[in-house]
Amino acid sequence: MLVMKVKRLTVDPITNLPILILVDEAERVTLPIRIGAVEASAIASELANVELKRPQAHDLMKAILGECGARLARVELRDVRRETFYAAIVLDRETGAGRAKVEIDARPSDAIALALRTGAPIQVARKVLDKVRVDAALAAAADAETIACGDEPPAARRIELDEPTDSAEGDEPLGLPLLESLRDEDFPKWKM
């Protein structure tokens, strides 16, 4: 597992869908994750330190954990299949026999929104990174190899990259070459 953190929340310029960008501590490995608008708003409000008048779903989850004597030990992004990420929240809770770990299946966006509220670490399995294979060196190579298309929008730019495959599990390759070829300035900032 690699410890990662939220670098930013952005919008895909082609689909207008929110994308959460995770980076490792050295900021050499990046992981883009498409998420829903509601979860993006929950993450954005926490990143911007916006205090809302009433608790939102992730604030409620944090309060429930505290009242039940549990704490979020970590969030784990464990797998990606057909462009769907799989995550779990790992709780540490008191039992009559001592402390116990509890693992609960979760959507990555919900797990990360909760991790931001509790300060819990976000860990990503190496196999997820191997499948997605988005690191700074590849992104830099993508920028260098991008075919210039004059004033055409970023969607018109294309780069040929090796697609990761996982024939053992029958997964199809992730379709991220276009996303990998985009630059930071191609993405608008996420607005609250």
pLDDT at 137 (0 to 100): 43
Beta bridge partners of 72: 91
Spans in the chain with pLDDT lower than 50: 134-140, 142-176
pLDDT the model gives residue 76: 95
- Whole-number pLDDT of residue 47: 86
pLDDT of residue 141: 53
Question: Contact, 29 vs 46, CB < 8 A?
Answer: no
pLDDT at 111: 94
- CA-to-CA dists, residue 144 to 77, 138, 158, 159, 174, angstroms: 30, 10, 12, 10, 21
Domain boundaries, the chain: 2-186
Give 4's contacts (C-beta < 8 A, 6+ positions apart).
22, 23, 24, 25, 29, 31, 122, 123, 124
Going by C-beta distance under 8 Å and a sequence separation of 6 or more, which residues neighbour residue 93? 68, 69, 70, 71, 99, 100, 102
Is the model's pTM score more than 0.85? no
The bridge status of strand 70-81 relative to strand 122-124 is: parallel
Backbone angles phi, psi at 109, to 5 degrees: -65, -40
Domain 2-186 bears CATH identifier 3.40.30.10: no
* Eight-state DSSP code of residue 174: P
For residue 157, the one-letter residue type is R
Q: Residues 84-127: pLDDT tens digits? A: 899 999 999 877 777 789 999 999 999 999 999 999 999 999 98
What is the predicted pLDDT for the residue at 73? 93
